[in-house]
Amino acid sequence: MGKGVEGFGARAIVKHYVTDTHALLWYLTDSPLLSKAASAAFDEADAGHALIYIPAIVAAELYFVIAKLKLPLDFAAEINRLRQSGQFEFVPFTVDDTLDFKTDEIVPEMHDRIIVGVARRLNAACLTRDPAIATSRLAPVVW
């Protein structure tokens, strides 16, 4: 059921990350597919030393992946658990975000463009193994 989720309390946040769907899913399922570097970023967040942003599109994709693969995860319970933790923050998608589509057009897939756009705007590293995001150099990538 993933790693422990702790609140931040009075600890200072030092790093910021934006997760893509695969990284979040593999974190939640404690999968060996999550790279060591991405796992370390989630561990930093678990320890209160990082904040991980979850774009709304990632939450939507997560729902569909869980349903499609018939994974034994309760989507609503996981979202509520992430919401209640101190180390995750959901980022809404607004029509203003579409104004950055041209800026991020080097990333061909719309959902990935949204994710990298969030990372770029927040000046955060992106937790992804997606080669289009990595080669775009629009945001640092941790994988």
Looking at the structure of the chain, the number of domains it has is 1
Q: Which domain holds residue 28?
A: 15-142
AA identity, residue 109: E
Does 3 have pLDDT greater than 90? no
* H or E element that contains 18: strand 15-19
More confident position, 34 or 13: 34
Give domain status of residue 114, yes or no. yes
Give domain status of residue 37, yes or no. yes
59: CATH: 3.40.50.1010
Q: In the prediction, which pLDDT does 6 show? A: 45
Give domain status of residue 99, yes or no. yes
DSSP 41: H
DSSP 13: P
Give domain status of residue 10, yes or no. no
pTM of the model: 0.90
Give domain status of residue 9, yes or no. no
Give domain status of residue 6, yes or no. no
Q: In the prediction, which pLDDT does 1 show? A: 40
